[in-house]
Chains A and B, each alone.
Chain A
Amino acid sequence: MTVLDLAEWLKAEVLVVGEGSHRAIRRVVASDLMSDVLLVDDEDMLLLTSLASDQVLRTAQIVGAVGVIVVNGKALPSSMVAVANDLRLTLATCSLPKYEACVAVARALSAL
């Protein structure tokens, strides 16, 4: 399942389609603490977060994430789209709270 498949499942709005959009998600990390995200060693990770900042995208690029989905229907700063485009990173936003988004993602992945 790719980040675009998951975005559709979550009814998320895809703002930027990046380079990793075609890659299969190998792991999902839900965190607002970027220090924790930097400890994840797996490639092709999807990041779910309720933190809406450029630093989320910069962190995701560093760890090679396939994309970022911002949950809780957070209003994203306009700079996030520009940064996602610059870093060629898929960015989506969904209205579900983080826990519910995690449950939905788990269901989606187990349905495969």
Chain B
Amino acid sequence: MSDKARRSIALRESSDAGAESEPLVLLELIQRLKVRDVMTRKLATVPRSATLRQAQMLMRERKISGVPVEENGRFFGLVSVDDIIRALVAGTIDDPCHKHMTTKLVVLEDDMPVAFALRYFDRYHYGRFPVLNRDQRLVGIVCQRDINRALLVELTHELSRLENVMIQTSDADDAYHVYVLREFPVVKYDFENAGKAANQIKKVLQEKRFSPKDIRRIAVAAFELEMNLCVHSDGGVLSWLLANGRAEIIARDGGPGIEDVAWACRDGTSTANEWIRSMGFGAGMGLANVKRVADEFEIASKKGSGTTVKAVIRISAPDALQGASQQPG
């Protein structure tokens, strides 16, 4: 690899200088992923009338340490290894499950962030949690191994994406010697901090002396997407990648999703409430404005799930590389 290419694979920068050692990708993942994304959906369950011996056989057969007691989606309790041991000691192993199952349970909801589930594992020291949906139906079960597996898969995807960027950068003749990746968590309705990420992005671009026109387009796209995350989503992450003469801005959130994407991208369409409008936002021009300033625009959304918006802006070489002395705007 040439020195030039090596320089171009510069560094991964975090959202503020003091937090460079924090695993931001991981923090973002545990906020973005929901319990339903990591839970086991194929459940081995028993009805209330099943005996504890039947539950024990099922646990041995499936190599699991707990069986939910459920009928037609309605969750009644859980038979654990402890319940089985107690039944063996007391001679009640042939009693129906509903007599001895554990009913005082801590459960998770399927739309909770994984970060919330991790806090539950830390607080309660249980091996698993049943997962209910909004209708209080049993839809899954989650243990820490499920979470680890899902995080590993997501981290592998992220690493693969970074490797692709690095390969592209090292192959480029004039990669602008720039490779920046930053990620900024955005919290719902956090107007105190909303906009800070875009402001920081603009400052970095000015320091690197890109043209005022390019800086403005990137900054506007980043700001609009950041405000969208704050105003319309349950919270998410704004990622910004600068490499190979391209600025890529990605806004990812975990919900609630957009029902009609084409409608949302039109000028003047908005679901913002009066409170948001009183702060000068929510006029329904955000996504349309991102499309206006971007060279490439993609949006993927599903109602009840999340939204990902990607804007790509092609940029010319910075003034410094062109030997110009124009001041950034």
Contacts and interface: CB of A to CB of B under 8 A. Distances in A.
A87 B219 CA distance: 14
Given A38-B289, A39-B285, A62-B219, A32 B212 contact: no
B224 interface: yes
A58 B281 contact: no
A33 interface: yes
Contact of B202 (A37, A49, A61): A61
Contacts of B192: 54, 79
A58 B329 contact: no
A35 B329 contact: no
B323 interface: no
Interface in A36-75: 36-39, 41, 43-44, 49, 51, 53-56, 58-59, 61-64
B223 A32 contact: no
B110 to A, nearest CB: 34
A35 B284 CA distance: 8
A58 B199 contact: yes
Interface of A: 32-39, 41, 43-44, 49, 51, 53-56, 58-59, 61-64, 79, 87
B216 interface: yes
A35 B280 contact: yes
A59 B216 contact: no
B280 A62 contact: no
B266 interface: no
Nearest to B195: A58
Interface residues of B, number: 26
Contact of A63 (B216, B279, B282, B284): B216
B279 A38 contact: no
Residue from B195, B223, B280, B329 with most neighbouring chain A CB atoms (10 Å): B280
B246 interface: no
A98 to B, nearest CB: 14
B199 A62 contact: yes
Contact of B279 (A51, A62, A87): A51
Contacts of B215: 64
A15 B219 CA distance: 25
Contact of A59 (B212, B223, B282, B329): B223
B220 interface: yes
Interface string B265-291: 000000000000001111111100100
A64 B280 contact: no
Q: Which 3 A-B pairs have the closest CB atoms?
A: A58-B195, A35-B283, A34-B280
B191 interface: yes
B198 interface: yes
Nearest to A43: B329
